[in-house]
Amino acid sequence: MLHYCLAHLAYHFSRQVPKRSRAKFEILVLFLVTVLLFPQIFVLLRPKSSRYCNQPLLINLTSFIILTFVMTGFTVLLTLMDPIPNEVKVAFHVYGVGSFAQGITTTAFTVAAPQCVNTTPELYYLSFVLSVLSVLATVFIGFLIPFWLADIFCTGMVLTQQARDGVCQKPVANYSFLWHV
């Protein structure tokens, strides 16, 4: 869920930036993706990471890196397109389900691999950090899901931007980036 959450936040933060300044925001996003990718690729290329560990942490890290590249593509699409086609939204939410599954897998492998700290310490600690970040992102998105569903089934109940009305109007009046794609 970490990848989905990061792309989601980048989308909403980009909507706070004027359209003509979004190129600068894209450069910032690419810098942040590089910062996120660097430790993953660094640990992947370490000789110690290929040592034996009874859990497939290395394979999991590889799939995490692939999802990070896909996240980069979605982030670029979501921040540059205005309006966003429904097909892209659906693909993004399907990607969110895959990101959720990746977070659960990472957390499960990390919890089951405490002995890997002796054989592959960098890989284990990176997996631990990614697990914690995935859990935090899942809690954040899990907190927002009831509001999104309420807005779908009872349109205007949660937030109506045009009328400046709804249950959530006060909290998100100045922070509309907290809302949904």
Structure confidence by residue, pLDDT tens digits, 90-130: 999 999 999 999 999 999 999 998 888 888 888 889 999 99
Give the gyration radius of the chain's Cα atoms: 18
Structure confidence by residue, pLDDT tens digits, 36-85: 899 999 988 888 777 777 888 888 889 999 999 999 999 888 888 878 88
Asked whether the beta carbons of 109 and 55 are under 8 A apart, the reply is yes
If one counts every other C-beta atom within 10 angstroms of the C-beta of residue 134, the result is 25
pLDDT at 170: 47
If one counts every other C-beta atom within 10 angstroms of the C-beta of residue 149, the result is 11
Q: Flag the least confident range among 3-12, 91-100, 169-178.
A: 169-178
Structure confidence by residue, pLDDT tens digits, 14-35: 877 787 777 788 888 889 888 9
Asked whether the beta carbons of 179 and 159 are under 8 A apart, the reply is yes
Token pair 């989308």: residue: 11
Q: Where are the alpha helices (DSSP H) in 81-173?
A: 86-111, 116-119, 121-153, 169-172
Q: Nearest CA to 78 among 166, 164, 161, 6?
A: 6
Asked whether the beta carbons of 164 and 156 are under 8 A apart, the reply is no
* pTM of the predicted protein model: 0.80
